[in-house]
Structure 1
Amino acid sequence: MSAVQQANFAPMRSVPMEILALGFCRTGTASMRAALTVLGYGNAHHIGRVMANPEEVDAWNTAIDAKYLHKGTPYRQEEWDRLLGDFKVVADVPGILFAAELVQAYPEAKVILTTRDPDRWWKSFRETLLVMLDTKRTLLARWLDPSGFGKFVPFARRNLEIVLGPMDTLTETDAKQRYIDYSNAIRHLVPSDRLLEYQMGDGWGPLCTFLGKDVPETPFPHKNDSVMILEGSRKQMWRIYRRSAVKLLAPLALVIAVGLAMRFRGI
């Protein structure tokens, strides 16, 4: 029995998978997810979903082990349906690690490849994800929250390292070449009539034409810039610190309160 079957995931998919947004991290994937929500596709499955639901980590790791380490049985459509539930959109990691499998499992789904100039991509990646997932910076938070943040950070690093190589020794030259190679692999994987290449700044026009949707009156969303990523990571770690401090201080406060009560009663 696979990790998906053991976990409490949806038993079947009741709606079709409509869009596979297979652009690599830091190419505008968050803005694209927001745009697709505006167009009526609902929320997408992406790395934030795994962060909020750490029980998914084991299921995704099992799939990664099967594909990249040849340990276990590769996921079939049944496992993908259960793991992805009724999301109509898959975006970003961990889904992009299984681009070929998802393209095959959901042949009616359209594919969007967000792209970015490699130099600008590397600058954004280096200043956000490399910082957010630094093992030294996150050490205390991971130790205080082993089943949540402590489980998620190694998983998120593993996702990126599958495409880019070890993050601790990653060079700019290697990273940019592997990013380019990833985008080229998607281009070769997906037939041109099923694929939209999109760069942030293209606006609603190409996306709505590709999807057969009317252009919304609202501006195209802009999400997940460098400041938002780092601020979100900082807030998450401080929530862990505050929660842990309350747990640690509560017994001490109780002891002090009992001691004071005993003193006032002359015991």
Structure 2
Amino acid sequence: MKVIVAGMPKTGTKTLNEALSNMGFKVYDYIENSVYLRNEWMKILKTGWSTEDFKRMFEDVDAVTDVPSCYYWEEIHKAFPDAKIILTLRENDEVWLKSFKNQMKTSNGNTMVTLLSYLSPTFRRSVFDIGFAMSPVIFGLADVRHIAYDSVNGDMLKLKYRAHNAHVMQNAPPDKLLVYKVTEGWDPLCKFLGVPVPDKPFPHKNKGGAMIEEHLKSDPIVQKMKREMMVSSILCTAFLGLGVYFIYKRGI
């Protein structure tokens, strides 16, 4: 583990994920954590952890971004004390909350995401299980998707955001910490990590929740989920057809 991104979701974590990947780092974002490390995170969220747990989980990973790892940045750093910490920030907490709400509205209204939630076992066992387990811990909500609702206490969420950022800035070793906005581009990031600036424009990912469609189109983990959805759909159609057939036969 070389880089721990401690910034909350919707602070440019998908952009930073892409930037770190372009630098050659092996990055575990939310989807990799929830699928590949599902059992480990469920243990951490439900019963507790040890430093050795984090060492085993991330021994072959260069960087982590997004939840749930950003919330456990301090514990991960205990396992990898030489790792550098990046705290990504938005302009202010109001901009952050508005962006998060939009992300959840986009996800909640996506038909494919809804179908995957019913028909993909991998989606349900990983994304749903991790999401339900971490939502009360990190956001104080039974379900993080509820952020999209106007009835959710936005002031409480902004307080969570500010408290998290303050904790990182007060407790991370100053020589290991970069407080960073992705609008700053390559220079401060590459200087902090001690790597050359890539010969390509700085990425800009997940604008307006666009990453959902990108994942649905190209992410290999999501493609597996879509294949599971197709198999489940075929099986459901077959069982439904058999049911109709037997009902018809009994009625003759």
TM range (shorter): 0.7 to 0.9
Q: CA deviation at 1:84?
A: 2.0
Letter in 2 for 1:25: P
* Kept in 2: contact 1:163–1:182 (CA 8 A): no
User: Which residue of the partner structure matches residue 4 of structure 1?
Assistant: none
Letter in 2 for 1:58: N
Q: Percent of counterpart pairs with the same letter?
A: 28
Any idea what SS the aligned residue of 2:184 has?
A: coil
Q: CA deviation at 1:32?
A: 0.7
Structure 2's unaligned 5+ residue stretches are 244-252
User: Which residue of the partner structure matches residue 207 of structure 2?
Assistant: 225
Residue of 17, 21, 28 corresponding to 1:33: 17
CA distance in structure 1 between the partners assigned to 2:194 and 2:211 by the alignment? 32
Letter in 2 for 1:249: T
Any idea what SS the aligned residue of 1:94 has?
A: coil
* Kept in 2: contact 1:143–1:150 (CA 8 A): yes
Q: Aligned Cα RMSD in Å?
A: 3.0
Letter in 1 for 2:193: L
C-alpha distance 81-105 of structure 1, shift in aligned 2 (>3 A): closer
2:186 aligned with 1:204, yes or no?
Answer: yes
CA distance in structure 2 between the partners assigned to 1:234 and 1:44 by the alignment? 19
C-alpha distance 191-223 of structure 1, shift in aligned 2 (>3 A): same
Structure 1's unaligned 5+ residue stretches are 1-16, 68-73, 256-267
User: Which residue of the partner structure matches residue 107 of structure 1?
Assistant: 81
Any idea what SS the aligned residue of 2:183 has?
A: coil
2:6 aligned with 1:22, yes or no?
Answer: yes
CA distance in structure 2 between the partners assigned to 1:233 and 1:158 by the alignment? 23
Any idea what SS the aligned residue of 2:178 has?
A: strand
User: Which residue of the partner structure matches residue 247 of structure 1?
Assistant: 235
1:69-80 equivalences in 2 (<5 Å): 74-77=49-52, 79-80=53-54
Any idea what SS the aligned residue of 1:216 has?
A: coil
Number of residue equivalences: 227
1:1-267 equivalences in 2 (<5 Å): 17-41=1-25, 43-53=26-36, 56-67=37-48, 74-77=49-52, 79-117=53-91, 118-129=93-104, 132=107, 141-145=116-120, 147-151=121-125, 152-166=127-141, 167=144, 168=146, 170-231=152-213, 241-250=229-238
* Kept in 2: contact 1:133–1:153 (CA 8 A): no
C-alpha distance 181-130 of structure 1, shift in aligned 2 (>3 A): farther
C-alpha distance 173-148 of structure 1, shift in aligned 2 (>3 A): same
* Kept in 2: contact 1:22–1:111 (CA 8 A): yes
Residue by residue over 1:193-245, the C-alpha shift from the partner in whole angstroms, topping out at 9 and shown as x without a partner, is 11001112101111111112222221111112234244357776876654322
C-alpha distance 162-18 of structure 1, shift in aligned 2 (>3 A): same
Structure with the higher helix share, 1 or 2: 2
Letter in 2 for 1:38: N
Q: CA deviation at 1:58?
A: 2.2
Any idea what SS the aligned residue of 1:20 has?
A: strand
* Kept in 2: contact 1:133–1:157 (CA 8 A): no
CA distance in structure 2 between the partners assigned to 1:32 and 1:226 by the alignment? 16
Q: CA deviation at 1:62?
A: 0.6
C-alpha distance 143-246 of structure 1, shift in aligned 2 (>3 A): same
TM-score (norm 1): 0.73
Q: CA deviation at 1:101?
A: 1.0
Letter in 2 for 1:144: L
More displaced 10-residue stretch of structure 1: 223-232 or 111-120: 223-232
User: Which residue of the partner structure matches residue 6 of structure 1?
Assistant: none
Residue by residue over 1:133-180, the C-alpha shift from the partner in whole angstroms, topping out at 9 and shown as x without a partner, is 69xx977643433x3222222422432432221144631111111111
Letter in 2 for 1:23: G
* Kept in 2: contact 1:144–1:244 (CA 8 A): yes
Any idea what SS the aligned residue of 2:71 has?
A: helix
